[in-house]
């Protein structure tokens, strides 16, 4: 395909940097079509040096799908669909600092999101993504057969990830006990647009395999988590002010690295509404 923008791949199987597009203006139908094809294939797209207002970030993201509000953060003042992903210099824990797929505790988890870098440390604060279709494909046939028809219980209240929300919820004006969300999803889901099989469990939100003992469930899940994090399934995104990242949440996991304590980091996230995994 003759793309209307420049593409630089970040790794062999996931992640591409896009140059030659100004996201502050609506994309042409042809550019949008090409961008969607590339997004579904590469899972993670990085657009450097974008100068976007909050409304322009919303306008760009909604070209990829219907938008949704993140359930645990108040929106930016005047822009309820923009969640501030913030870490202050004196905070030791970063928001969402566990390997995860966003909102898998909802019946209809996010299909994807855009994330715009507003303030970043001079060094550190990178984010790692992994391709969960590739992770599934690399499993042994024995494990594929074992997990093919299993379901997992997913919750928003696992202790490890709940701790990463502490500072933001403490500083929230709502001052209320967070609601607990829970949903059951297949361990192997099908991507609704590509048909790819995807390994769909994650450390932050998957509680256990439905119908299994916790011990047996933990044994399998820990094996799957470690497998999915192999470097050959990964790309690493280095942030600069004005970098906008677009990822397919259905087919990836990500991990925000917490190596910048003492520095302020702020990103604006806009979520795309998803569908029920099957």
> Across the chain, what does the average pLDDT equal?
93
Active site residue 49: no
Q: Which of 42, 100, 167, 268 is catalytic?
A: 100
Tokens for 204, please give them.
């932050």
Domains (range + CATH), the chain: 6-272 (3.60.130.10)
Quick one: pLDDT band at residue 162, thresholds 50, 70, 90?
low
Active site residue 102: yes
Q: Which of 68, 102, 134, 253 is catalytic?
A: 102
Active site residue 254: yes
What pLDDT is recorded for position 72? 82
Longest dimension (CA), the chain: 52
Q: Which of 133, 167, 189, 254 is catalytic?
A: 254
In the predicted structure, residue 170 carries a pLDDT above the cut 70: no
Active site residue 133: no
Distance CA 151, CA 210 (A): 6
pTM to 2 decimal places:
0.93
Burial (0-12, 13-18, 19+ Cβ within 10 Å), 189 = buried
The answer to whether the beta carbons of residues 144 and 137 sit under 8 Å apart is no
Tell me the pLDDT tens digit for each residue of 29-79.
999 999 999 999 999 999 999 999 999 999 999 999 999 999 888 899 999
């Amino acid at each position: 395909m003759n793309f209307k923008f420049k593409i630089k791949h970040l790794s062999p199987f996931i992640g591409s940097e896009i140059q030659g597009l100004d996201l502050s203006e609506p994309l042409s139908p042809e550019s949008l079509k090409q961008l969607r094809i590339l997004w579904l294939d590469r899972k993670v797209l990085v657009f450097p040096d974008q100068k976007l207002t909050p409304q322009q970030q919303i306008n760009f993201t909604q070209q990829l799908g219907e938008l949704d509000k993140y359930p645990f953060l108040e929106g930016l003042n005047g822009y309820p669909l923009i969640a501030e992903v913030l870490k202050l210099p004196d905070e030791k824990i970063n928001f969402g600092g566990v390997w995860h797929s966003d909102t898998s505790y909802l019946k209809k988890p996010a299909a994807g999101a855009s994330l715009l870098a507003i303030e970043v440390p001079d060094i550190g604060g990178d984010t790692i993504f992994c391709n969960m279709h590739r992770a599934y494909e690399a499993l042994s046939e024995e494990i594929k057969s074992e997990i093919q028809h299993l379901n997992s219980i997913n919750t928003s209240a696992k202790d490890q990830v709940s701790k990463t929300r502490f500072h933001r919820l403490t500083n929230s004006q709502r001052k209320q006990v967070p609601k607990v969300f829970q949903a059951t999803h297949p361990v192997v889901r099908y991507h609704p647009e590509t048909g790819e099989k995807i390994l769909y469990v994650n450390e932050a939100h998957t509680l256990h395999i439905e119908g299994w003992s916790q011990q047996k469930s933990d044994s399998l899940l820990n094996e799957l988590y470690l497998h999915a994090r192999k470097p050959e399934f990964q790309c690493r995104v280095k942030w600069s002010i004005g970098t906008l990242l677009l990822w397919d949440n259905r087919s990836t996991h990500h991990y925000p690295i917490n190596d910048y304590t003492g520095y302020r980091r702020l990103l604006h996230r806009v979520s795309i509404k998803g569908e029920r995994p099957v």
